[in-house]
Amino acid sequence: MSFRGTTILAVKKDGKTAIAGDGQVTLGEAVMKGNARKVRRMYHDRIITGFAGATADAFTLFDLFEKKLNQFNGDLTRSAVEMAKEWRTDRTLRRLEAMMLVADLDKIYLISGTGDVIEPEYGAIAIGSGGNYAYAAAKAYLDGSDLTAGQIAQRSLQIASEICIYTNDKIIVEEV
């Protein structure tokens, strides 16, 4: 599943984790908003989330994920798995068109409505229309640079914004 209109990237390096997202919202081929906030902190600022997809669907998923975090006392893995199970099996949630990246200091997961909970093999993962560009840039930066996780996320999103027409350079970075 690929979504046009956004890029979200998670990077883990040297004990820090960052998620970055651009601010562009499109409707068809028109830019409707350039400064949307698609990256958020949750659970006492210990968890970072980012979404790609339909905005209303993403807010529904943010609420559901926050409930799971509270239910499982901030356990990222358990919350992600339980959310993916509910998302996949619930008749209403199953229709939501979005994907999420969630992270804490130790782990990063991609969560999708098909039941996927994917932990990246390397220190980065990305979703959205510019995801492959941001991921490639992050992998290159992770391989031998002295940049922090947040700096890698920022620079990689900047590169994606220069390539993907559905990604802009109004980048938000959150780091734990």
Would you call 37 helix, strand, or coil by DSSP? coil
DSSP annotation string for 68-125: HHHHTTT-HHHHHHHHHHHHHH-TTGGG--EEEEEE-SS-EEEEETTS-EE--SSSEE
Q: Is the dihedral of CA 131, 132, 137, 139 positive or negative?
A: positive
Residue among 6, 7, 17, 49 flagged as catalytic:
6
Torsion of CA 149, 4, 68, 47, to 10 degrees: 20
Contact between residue 103 and residue 10 where contact means Cβ atoms under 8 Å apart: yes
Give the whole-angstrom CA distance, residue 63 versus residue 175.
21
6 a catalytic residue: yes
Which positions are annotated as active-site residues? Answer: 6
